[in-house]
Amino acid sequence: MTPEFESTVQKAIENDVLPGAVMLVRSKDGKLNYTHSLGPLSLSPSSSPANSPLQPDSILAMASTTKLLTSIAVLQQVQSGKVALATDISPHLPELAAQPVLSGFTPDGQPILSPRTEPILLKHLLTHSSGCSYTWNNPDVVTYLTTITNKTVPVPLTPVGGSTVPERCSYPLSFQPGKGWVYGSGLDWAGLLVERLSGVKLEVYLQDNILSVLGIKRGEITFYPARYDALDGRRAE
């Protein structure tokens, strides 16, 4: 990469366009092999040690990148014959199957709820067509949770911290399954489905059946970085 490229990224960090960047580029023939990191490990002024730079092996939040790993795990269940893409997941995920469809509110603020009439198929969970939204992209769900049920609104990207998928994602659907599209928690539920079909926690399943096959050691990709002392000092804030 050219110095001009790195200078452009550095200016973006200085102008608060980017918090930082870890850049890795590999060409198939091996002739291009580039690794470079820019920016601070933490944006907190009280971070220790102060102003530590990002490193190529800094630990970053994967966020929705985990959806790819979960999808592979789900498709392994399909390949093994435990489930099919057209399977109605209701027997496996009764908490989700119990959710009605929320289509708005009456003038006096009461939710307009309709019974779910379409089956929630596994393929709906994988393609964001199950009716499952997130709270940040569905204001009606936020209103429902805060004013109707008095629940604390679950925040996306919050660390697991003991909460479960049913606890965080059991709220009404945005539409009848298969009748629309909205980016949402379908893959969260699909991960729970993998746990119930395999009998082990999702992280254990991913490590044993996907990550270890790729040569990724236990803890290098994890939902629980605090459990691994070796990651201390490498976690980006």
- Residue 142 CB neighbour total at 10 angstroms: 16
3-class DSSP assignment, residue 221: strand
Share of the chain above pLDDT 90, in %: 70
Query: Which of 37, 82, 179, 183 is flagged as catalytic?
Result: 183
Catalytic, 144? Answer no
Q: What is the mean pLDDT of residues 46-71?
A: 85
| Structure token pair of residue 110 | 């009461």
Cα separation, 223 vs 203, in Å, equals 7
Contact 160, 89 (CB under 8 A): no
Please check the confidence at residue 19 and state whether its pLDDT lies above 50: yes
Residue 135, pLDDT score: 87
Catalytic, 64? Answer yes
Element of type H or E holding 38? strand 33-38
Residue 148, pLDDT score: 83
Confidence of residue 61 (pLDDT cuts 50, 70, 90): confident
What fold, for 64-206? Beta-lactamase (3.40.710)
Query: Which of 58, 67, 170, 205 is flagged as catalytic?
Result: 67
Q: What is the mean pLDDT of residues 106-116?
A: 95
Residue 155, pLDDT score: 56
Residue 31, pLDDT score: 93
Pick from 201, 183, 182: nearest CA to 192? 201
Query: Which of 7, 47, 64, 114 is flagged as catalytic?
Result: 64
Please check the confidence at residue 45 and state whether its pLDDT lies above 80: no
Element of type H or E holding 114? strand 111-114
Please check the confidence at residue 157 and state whether its pLDDT lies above 50: no
| pLDDT tens digits, one per residue of 160-214 | 334 789 988 999 999 999 999 999 999 999 999 999 999 999 999 999 999 999 9
Contacts of residue 176, defined as CB under 8 A and 6 or more positions apart, other chains included, come to 101, 116, 117, 118, 131
Residue 49, pLDDT score: 58
Cα separation, 95 vs 73, in Å, equals 21
Which sequence spans correspond to the domains of the chain? 1-58, 64-206
* Average pLDDT, rounded, for the chain: 90
Contact 191, 134 (CB under 8 A): no
